[in-house]
């Protein structure tokens, strides 16, 4: 009897875990669910700064949040995300308490979604000409002994979070290291040449050769260590 009880608990845990899925799985499930209800539980200001296409904003901080969730259709799947996963976890628990059984949570939230260069809405894409064509970039890494490239996008959450530190180091380390920012929206040739498919990506060149590649947000300590 004890074995059966533990087995049931294990299955429930597996089911719960299976509903918190990766970016790729979340995107696939959305595509395969034409009646999906996609809910962004961030604040309206966060939502206005960029969100998943077709998402509806139900702010988890509003006093009638539970009531707003209860208005969703229980016969249709619900897909939930926030910035990084904290608020969406609470929303998923409320949805289950309300009787929703087909609930999917985006692991890593909007930060992870945008860093994987997935489609986003409510942001302006840059249409400027490329600043770093191959010839110019090759010339730079030949002339400068240490070059760090921050491949970013204006709509990428982790990129925006890291930007102030990158700009600080650009100024502080002038003469010691060359730090440039490459916009993923406009530098398609660069993205292809260096096989960048996730943001932010940091590329480190020493004496013209690529010696390190790091993906994802890095704090100031990690960036300084990279530039030693």
Bigger pLDDT: 200 or 157? 200
User: ∠ CA 49-122-198 to the nearest 5 degrees?
Assistant: 80
Residue with tokens 């409320």: 94
3-state secondary structure 178-210: EEEEEECCCCHHHHHHCCCCCCCEEEEEECCEE
Question: Residue 59 and residue 40: Cα distance in Å, rounded?
Answer: 7
Using pLDDT thresholds of 50, 70 and 90, give the confidence band for residue 126: confident
For 134-226, CATH gives 3.40.30.10
**Residue 123: Cβ within 10 Å count:** 16
Domain locations in the chain?
Answer: 16-115, 134-226
pLDDT of residue 18: 38
Please indicate whether residue 156 is annotated as part of the active site: yes
pLDDT of residue 11: 45
pLDDT of residue 215: 95
Q: What is the pLDDT of residues 8-52, one digit of tens each?
A: 444 444 444 338 999 999 999 999 999 999 999 999 999 999 999
16-115 and 134-226, same CATH topology: no
The residue from 11, 14, 82, 159 that is catalytic is: 159
Question: Stretch 183-211: mean pLDDT, rounded?
Answer: 95
pLDDT of residue 125: 78
- Which homologous superfamily does the CATH classification assign to the domain defined by 16-115? Rhodanese-like domain (3.40.250.10)
Question: Residue 173 and residue 43: Cα distance in Å, rounded?
Answer: 37
> Can you spell out the DSSP letters for 66-119?
HHHHHTS-TTS-EEEE-SSSHHHHHHHHHHHHTT--SEEEETTHHHHHHHTT--
Whether pLDDT at 4 is above 50: no
Q: What pTM value is reported for the model?
A: 0.75
Question: Residue 131 and residue 145: Cα distance in Å, rounded?
Answer: 20
Q: What is the pLDDT of residues 48-106, one digit of tens each?
A: 999 999 999 999 999 999 999 999 999 999 999 999 999 999 999 999 999 999 999 99
The residue from 11, 14, 82, 156 that is catalytic is: 156
Residue with tokens 């840059």: 126
Question: Residue 135 and residue 141: Cα distance in Å, rounded?
Answer: 10
């Amino acid at each position: 009897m004890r074995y059966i009880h533990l087995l049931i608990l294990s299955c429930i845990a597996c089911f719960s875990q299976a509903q918190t899925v990766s970016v790729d799985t979340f995107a696939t499930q959305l595509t395969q669910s034409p009646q999906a209800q996609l809910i962004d539980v961030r604040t309206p200001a966060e939502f206005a700064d960029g969100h998943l296409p077709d998402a509806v904003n139900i702010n988890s901080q509003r006093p009638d949040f539970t009531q707003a969730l209860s208005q969703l259709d229980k016969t249709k799947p619900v897909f939930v995300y926030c910035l990084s996963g904290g608020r969406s976890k609470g929303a998923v628990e409320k949805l289950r308490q309300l009787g929703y059984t087909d609930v999917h949570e985006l692991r890593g939230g909007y930060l992870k979604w945008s860093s994987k260069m997935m489609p986003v809405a409510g942001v302006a894409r840059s249409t400027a000409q490329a600043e770093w064509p191959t010839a110019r970039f090759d010339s730079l890494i030949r002339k400068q002994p240490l070059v760090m490239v921050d491949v970013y996008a204006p709509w990428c959450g982790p990129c925006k979070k890291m930007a102030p530190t990158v700009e600080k180091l650009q100024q502080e380390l002038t003469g010691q290291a060359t730090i440039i920012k490459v916009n993923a929206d406009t530098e398609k040739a660069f993205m292809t040449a260096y096989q960048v498919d996730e943001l932010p990506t940091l590329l480190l060149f020493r004496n013209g050769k690529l010696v390190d590649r790091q993906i994802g947000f890095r704090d100031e300590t990690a960036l300084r260590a990279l530039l030693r």
